[in-house]
């Protein structure tokens, strides 16, 4: 494998649609309220992509140097684990992406709030620093929060509550219940993807001392937790759709059908490796949900 392909693999392109789901959903609500900005939307997408790629590089590095990514791991081999990229090269990649993330964040914040409120600038600048720090410390360092069962909480916050609500607030200085329903739904589905990943790797993680929530809950507990996440996400998504006064908003419910099928399948899985293909299904269903909501916002 070439270095270029190794960097692409380390960026984990299949994780990117999920990271954009909240941004797209927030933009859809902004469109319905006539506060949408194409510039803010584009910069939000680019900033989110940079944060996600930074997180993926850091995850590859952190799990690699800790020995979590080993031959016992069931998922695809990582760049550092395979030896194609060195720890130093991944560090350089993390540094570069950190700079890009902060630069994009600064431009986005300035454009969004230059003529509105400087206090919002300061708050979002703090969120940007927090996001970069969280992306790195998920698996990097002795106090990596992904190793003590806090990864789910951070994913729920950054992909859901903070991600969706903060993205919407860039367009307007107000909040509403609609955006809260969406943030909770996207947050739960994003956390479900992480939990599936951790369910797949539960045995190996336990052996190397990575105590994820799936490790803490055990096989049955993690499965129950996963089911609650998906069901809760479906309920909040339906709550958002039913809050509209146009039946066209029921179209996004089509994206919920694969999630129901997914739940039926996931309870029947006997071997941890069986969880791997289900990650993509939940991630793509979340992305499809946001795209359909976006399309509906353009139609009505």
Identify the DSSP state of 77: P
Task: For 29-79, write each residue's pLDDT tens digit.
Answer: 999 999 999 999 999 999 999 999 999 888 888 777 766 665 555 556 666
**Helix runs in 114-175, H state only:** 118-137, 151-155, 162-169
Q: Poorest-confidence range of 73-82, 174-183, 260-269?
A: 73-82
Range of the domain at 11: 3-299
Confidence grade of residue 15 (pLDDT, cut at 50, 70, 90): confident
The whole-angstrom separation of Cα 198 and Cα 209 is 13
Kindly report the CA angle at 275 between 161 and 191, in degrees rounded to 5? 5
Cα 9 to chain centroid, rounded: 17
- What total of structural domains would you count in the chain? 1
Is the pLDDT reported for residue 178 higher than 70?
yes
Task: For 208-247, write each residue's pLDDT tens digit.
Answer: 888 999 999 999 999 999 999 999 999 999 999 999 888 9
Q: How many residues does the chain have?
A: 300
What's the pTM value of the predicted model, to 2 decimals? 0.92
């Amino acid at each position: 494998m070439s270095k270029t392909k190794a960097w692409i693999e380390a960026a984990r392109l299949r994780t990117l649609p999920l990271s954009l789901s909240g941004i797209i959903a927030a933009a859809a609500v902004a469109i319905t309220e006539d506060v949408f900005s194409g510039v803010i939307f584009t910069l939000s997408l680019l900033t989110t992509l940079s944060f996600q790629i930074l997180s993926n590089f850091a995850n590859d590095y952190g799990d690699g140097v800790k020995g979590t990514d080993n031959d016992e791991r069931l998922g695809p081999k990582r760049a550092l684990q395979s030896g194609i990229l060195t720890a130093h090269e991944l560090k350089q990649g993390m540094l570069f992406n950190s700079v890009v993330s902060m630069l994009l964040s600064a431009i986005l914040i300035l454009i969004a709030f230059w003529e509105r409120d400087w206090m919002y600038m300061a708050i979002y600048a703090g969120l940007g620093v927090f996001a970069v720090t969280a992306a790195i410390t998920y698996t990097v360092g002795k106090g990596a929060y992904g190793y003590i069962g806090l990864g789910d909480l951070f994913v729920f916050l950054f992909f859901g509550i903070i991600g969706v609500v903060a993205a919407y607030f860039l367009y307007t200085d107000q909040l509403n219940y609609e955006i809260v329903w969406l943030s909770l739904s996207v947050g739960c589905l994003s956390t479900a993807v992480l939990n599936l990943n951790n369910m797949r790797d539960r045995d190996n993680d336990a052996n190397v001392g990575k105590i994820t929530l799936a490790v803490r809950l055990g096989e049955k507990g993690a499965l129950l937790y996963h089911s609650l996440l998906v069901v809760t996400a479906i309920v909040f998504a339906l709550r958002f759709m039913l809050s509209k006064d146009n039946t066209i908003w029921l179209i996004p419910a089509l994206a919920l059908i694969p999630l129901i099928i997914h739940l039926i399948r996931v309870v029947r899985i006997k071997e941890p490796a069986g969880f791997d293909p289900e990650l993509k299904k939940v991630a793509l269903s979340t992305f499809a949900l946001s795209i359909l909501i976006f399309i509906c916002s353009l139609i009505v």
